[in-house]
Amino acid sequence: MRYLGIEPIRPRVGVFSFTCCEGCVLQLANKEETLGPFLEAIQVVNFREISTEKGADYEIALVEGSISRDDEVERLRQIRDQAKVLVALGTCAVFGGVNRLKDVFSPQEANRIVYGDQSRETAPIRAVHEVVPVDLSIPGCPISKVELERIVQHVALDLPWQFPEYPVCVECKQRFTVCMFDKGQLCLGPLTRAGCDAPCPAGGLGCWGCRGPAADPNHAEFDALVARRGFSRAQVQDRLSFFGGFPTEGSEEKP
Ligand code: SF4
Ligand code: SF4
Ligand code: SF4
C-alpha cells in the first residue's frame, strides 16, 4: 500500500512455532478487519498457519512457544542464524509460559503421567532467550494483536518501541472495572506489566500475570494487600509461578 506515493519497505517475515498451543500466531491470523493491512505491511515467507510458503530468506523471525526438546534447540539455532531480528512472541517464548508447570515433575514422571508407557522425549522447559539471543520480547498469553500492530508500525517508521512500564491496575481502572480484591478474589494486576487492557478483571477473573512483571512493582505494598485480604503465601506463589514470568521463592531471578 502506498502512502504519499512512497513505496513502503515490507520486511520478509517467518513465523515459527515450538512447544505451545499456537494461540499467539493464531492472533496474527485473527482480527479480520486489520488482517489485510497487516499482511500488506510485511512479506510472509514462512508461516505454516496461513501460507504454504516455506521460504528461508526471512529477515525477521517471530518465534512462539518454549523449548522442550533437543531437536527444537537445533531448529531454533538455525532460525537465529538466518534472521536479522528474532522476536520472542508470547508468554511461552518469553518466559516459558504454562509449559513450565510440567517442571514441577521430573521429565520421566511427566512422561509417565501424560503418555503412560508411550514415552516421548521431553526436557525441562526453556524460554527462547535461554537458548539463543532475542532482540525483542512480546509477552502475553496470547499476545495482543493491537499491541503487535503498533510495534509493526513503529518498526516500519524506524521509531523505538516502549512497552508500558506501569501495572495492569492502571488499565483496569481506566475501564472502571470493580477491583477483584473487593470481590474476594486474588489478582496480580498490581505487579504485572500493562498493555493487555486488563481483559481478565473485566471478565471477572483476577490477573494471572501472563505479561510478567511491571517495571518497578511495589512488592511490599502487594504483600501487605494480599495479607490484609486473607490470601496465603502459597496461594500467591502458586499464581506467580503459573506463567513463569515472576521469580518465585527459592528460584533465581529471571531476566
Ligand atoms: S503464550 Fe499462551 S496463547 Fe501463546 S502459544 Fe503460549 S499458551 Fe498459547
Ligand atoms: S482488579 Fe486487579 S488489576 Fe484491577 S485494580 Fe484490582 S488489583 Fe488492579
Ligand atoms: S489481565 Fe493479567 S492475565 Fe489477563 S491478559 Fe492482562 S496480564 Fe495477562
Span 49-54, average pLDDT: 89
- Number of domains composing the chain: 2
Q: What is the 3-state composition of the chain as percent helix, strand, coil, each rounded to the nearest 5?
A: 40, 15, 45
Q: Is 7 domain-assigned?
A: no
Burial class (CB in 10 A: 0-12, 13-18, 19+), 93: buried
Per residue in 19-32, pLDDT (tens digit) is 999 999 999 888 78
Q: Which residues line ligand 3 at a C-beta cut-off of 6 Å?
A: 168, 192, 196, 198-200, 207-211
User: Are 56 and 121 within one domain?
Assistant: yes
User: Are 37 and 148 within one domain?
Assistant: yes
* C-alpha gyration radius of the chain: 20
User: Which triple of cell numbers denotes residue 183?
Assistant: 470481590
**Is residue 64 in contact with ligand 1, taking CB distance under 6 Å?**
yes
Q: Which residues constitute the domain of residue 137?
A: 12-156
Nearest-CA residue for ligand 1 atom 2 is 141
Q: Is 250 domain-assigned?
A: no
CATH number of the domain to which 85 belongs: 3.40.50.700
Domain end marker among 106, 127, 156: 156
User: Are 233 and 141 within one domain?
Assistant: no
**Is residue 92 in contact with ligand 1, taking CB distance under 6 Å?**
yes
Residue 156 has pLDDT above 90, yes or no: no
Model confidence band, residue 255 (pLDDT cutoffs 50, 70, 90): very low
Per residue in 191-238, pLDDT (tens digit) is 999 999 999 999 999 999 999 999 999 999 999 999 999 999 999 999
Nearest-CA residue for ligand 1 atom 6 is 92
Least confident span in 90-94, 159-163, 249-253: 249-253
For the chain, the average pLDDT equals 92
Per residue in 83-98, pLDDT (tens digit) is 999 999 999 999 999 9
Distance CA 49, CA 169 (A): 34
Distance CA 172, CA 201 (A): 7
Nearest-CA residue for ligand 2 atom 1 is 179
Q: Which residues line ligand 2 at a C-beta cut-off of 6 Å?
A: 168-169, 172-173, 177, 179-181, 187, 189-190, 198, 201, 207
Model confidence band, residue 3 (pLDDT cutoffs 50, 70, 90): low
- Residues 190/205, Cβ–Cβ less than 8 Å: no
User: Are 145 and 178 within one domain?
Assistant: no
Domain end marker among 132, 156, 180: 156
Residue 253 has pLDDT above 50, yes or no: no
Task: Tell me how far the alpha carbon of residue 181 lies from the centroid of ligand 3, in angstroms.
Answer: 15
